[in-house]
Structure 1
């Protein structure tokens, strides 16, 4: 087996074990009574993807953070395991120079999960949730969508040092883009987020993260456009 750079991450083994436990809970028995596939190869493939060298923000640390925030918001989810699967897949395909990463990540889930023993209904829901991270604008009754989107955006509510590190990692990920073009594109993203009626949809997210996140976004936008 070839060495994956992701395997050097200090949380690699813990994340792999977490994935294996999650997938086992979500697997369905085969029609012929055959045992469910071993979760570990699927987990190693996903971790390898999250550890790719072109990633500076969308890394294993981001995966861990989204999983942690989703766990923090478990009480608001209709199906926490489906949300967790979507978190694993939501940026599993990521190229900074491509615009269809969420769609390609959803396609990966649609291919891999049935092969791994996950039923069609849950697979379709995971793919739907992954696609929702394009807009971060779930419907009012979409509780699992609210949890995933809040978990994904929770980084926006970091303290000043954490937010600065996040913004720097995003800039590093787009290091191939000239400064002027990056500032224009990043400003458009920030305005799109600020134009949302609410960044966070769960009661916890609204109370704990909304105000800080808007302040951080506004400050970054002001710096970019000064």
Structure 2
């Protein structure tokens, strides 16, 4: 893994690093030192062009995974899910459509270098690629936990959701308003068309209704801006 550009350290940097080390060691007794991998991943998540896909998002996803698993253990392999959370937006450029694939390949490379079992590496990469659609197959318990945790931001309070939507717009500041509204509206409609946004029992009970309300509200606001 290559050295990154100068970044701003997140207040939870040390806690996240500790959590990474614990997750890797729980997953497998590794021969290599996982510390440098944590440092590079945290640098990636703190790249200056990010506004939503930041270290704060990584922390939130990891916390939501813990929340789901604490409510009622659901994942078949919780450590694979946590590792996938670390990698799912490790590569992120808002003007590219290969982010998930490149992130998955980064996971395959890094976790292989750490000598994690081949089956675990493959599962982590599969989960990262699943975040393209956030539509896990029925019975994909690992995928359900990761996707629920990643989408939990949609169920924030009105203020939290507004901050999330604003951060997404900032990441796409290079896109003209009319094109952004069209593209963003398409994403919102795609999410609303899913039979269920959340697949775990906890996610469905705690987040589904509020997330749908937030998504519909944003869609209505975008339509209203178009009318103006």
- Both proteins in one fold, TM over 0.5: yes
Where structure 1 has 5 or more consecutive residues not aligned to the other structure, the ranges are: 30-35
After superposition, the C-alpha distances for 1:14-64 in whole angstroms (9 at most, x for unaligned) are 1111111111122346xxxxxx10110000010010010110000000000
The answer as to 2:36 corresponding to 1:23 is: no
Using the alignment, how far apart are the partners of 1:54 and 1:173 within structure 2? 7
Q: Where do residues 83-122 of structure 1 align in structure 2 (5 Å cutoff)?
A: 83-122=81-120
Using the alignment, how far apart are the partners of 1:203 and 1:13 within structure 2? 32
Residue 3 of structure 1, CA deviation: 7.9
Q: Where do residues 23-42 of structure 1 align in structure 2 (5 Å cutoff)?
A: 23-28=24-29, 36-42=31-37
Q: Where do residues 138-157 of structure 1 align in structure 2 (5 Å cutoff)?
A: 138-157=136-155
Where structure 2 has 5 or more consecutive residues not aligned to the other structure, the ranges are: none
Aligned to 1:65: 60
Aligned to 1:43: 38
Q: Where do residues 136-215 of structure 1 align in structure 2 (5 Å cutoff)?
A: 136-215=134-213
After superposition, the C-alpha distances for 1:97-156 in whole angstroms (9 at most, x for unaligned) are 001100110010111101012111000000000000000100111001000000000000
**Paired residue total:** 219
**Root-mean-square deviation (CA), in Å?**
1.3
Residue 76 of structure 1, CA deviation: 1.0
Using the alignment, how far apart are the partners of 2:111 and 2:146 within structure 1? 18
Are the counterparts in 2 of residues 90 and 102 from structure 1 also a CA contact under 8 Å? yes
Are the counterparts in 1 of residues 4 and 43 from structure 2 also a CA contact under 8 Å? no
TM-score of the pair, normalised by structure 1? 0.94
